[in-house]
Amino acid sequence: MSFKAAFIGAGSIGFTRSLVRDLLAVPEFKDMSIALMDIDERNLEMIHCLLERDIKTNQLDEVGLSATTDQAAAVADAKYVFNVARVGGLEAFRTDIEIPLRYGIDQCVGDTLCAGGIMYGQRGIPMILELCDDIVEQADPECMLLNYANPNAMMTWAASHYGGVHTLGLCHGVQGGARQIAGAFGIPVEELDYICAGINHQTWYIQLLHRGQNLTGRLLAAMEANPELAKKEKVRIDMLRRFGYYSTESNGHLSEYLPWYRKRPEEIKDWISLDSWINGETGGYLRVCEEGRNWFENDFPNWMKEEPRKIVGGERSAEHGSYIVEGLETGRLYRGHFNVVNCGSIENLPDDAIVEVPGYVDGNGVSIPLVGELPLGCAAICQSSINVQRLAVEAAVHGDDNLLRQAMMLDPLTGAVCSPPEIWQLVDDMLIGQSTWLPQYDTAIAEAKKRRETDKRLPTREGYRGAARQKTKTIEEMAEDREAAKRNAGAADKAGFTGKKSG
């Protein structure tokens, strides 16, 4: 089957390499074409070299592989476009974490909601809309956009409502949570039948079955009885205890989407675990991303000396992307969970919101079933986040800093920590600090700079590192455990660090 897939932000080397390997493991895809695009020429060259070697070693001689810094050229005639870009890279990501910390907003990840996630969306949405323009003008008329970039719901919302491109938002949170639940019950994950629905990173396991037996009401006891989960997943288990259902996302992620668990610095450590960044460490994802980037840049020559990856039919990661393409191209049925415009699938959430729900893919396309109503408490949590997402998307599309400030005020954690005047000043600081990547806010940025010069500033906590910050490891420290450093370098760049810079 000859078709073209393009990867935008392909300099997210480990993740791009894994997704490409997944595609090439499908036997029918041995003559497909792959276009890699990134604005970082060095990262682009590195991923091109690694994939070229993988393809050659596996004797996939009919696979076409190209690399370019031209986005329009990359998507030309493409039937599938994967967006894995992070606009602004680590430089912008650092401000997502550091500036809010001055106001006492302590984030673990900062890529979905809260102050960091909202600003991440302000940078990414102009980029994905430019990508949609290129797809409409250059790609195959039936092209599908597979968005892996965060904040996933906001990015998918903008592309779906303003980009004019058929878009699916993809994430692996549902699969990860299912493995965790199966482990708590001591059953193989393949035997766990579940319905999971909500919004990205706040999706709820509303039904759990094992061989016809309903396990949903027994999950809390199973989680509490597991010493490892009881230590690492305190926020998720507390939410399960109080709302009755388990949420997909990690302890660190979930803790910053809610107003209760990170608002008082002296209490944050009661709700997290520092054995892994993902369990709640202050700025944990930023730290491992910085470590991963530094290690990869230092260690890349050794990656090229290693044995190329084997691409064996059927051996793939759990990421949805290749299975969706396989279903559409071959007709094989695939069931996953996708981020789509609601259109009534979840009856007690807005029709225009982006929801994460079960979906089926085959030669007829993507089919989304009716889920019905979420449990009332779960729906209320999702609705709070949807309000923020809606305001943030409209702000980014129209360059409306008043809507941006309202999104920050309604954000659960930001609103729990900061007063309205503090939020207004925080937004000024974020606009100024990220001005390089926010062309839609030129006027608002100029006004923010003027206020900084003329108005009396509210006090901030300069130099505050948060309640649970860990030291970033040096190359020498990481070299003491090379395998761990390599795994970190491959995993940390899941979101991409180099996508297209707007403006």
pLDDT in tens, 323-368: 999 999 999 999 999 999 999 999 999 999 999 999 999 999 999 9
Q: Quick count: other Cβ atoms within 10 Å of Cβ 478?
A: 21
* pLDDT for position 321: 98
* pLDDT for position 281: 98
d(CA 411, CA 425): 16
**Which residues are part of the catalytic machinery?**
172, 257
Supply angle C-alpha 111, 385, 176, rounded to 5: 55
* pLDDT for position 490: 64
Mention the CATH class of domain 4-89+106-171. Answer: alpha beta
pTM of the model: 0.96
d(CA 398, CA 244): 39
Nearest to 373 by CA among 194, 175, 198: 198
- Reported as a single tens digit per residue, the pLDDT across 43-99 is 999 999 999 999 999 999 999 999 999 999 999 999 999 999 999 999 999 999 999
Is 329 exposed, middle or buried, given 0-12, 13-18 or 19+ CB atoms closer than 10 A? middle
* pLDDT for position 125: 98
User: Distances in Å between the alpha carbon of 377 and those of 244, 247, 342, 368?
Assistant: 9, 12, 19, 23
Structure tokens at 155: 């990015």
Which portions of the chain are predicted below pLDDT 50?
494-503
Structure tokens at 133: 């323009």
Q: Which sequence spans correspond to the domains of the chain?
A: 4-89+106-171
d(CA 452, CA 55): 54
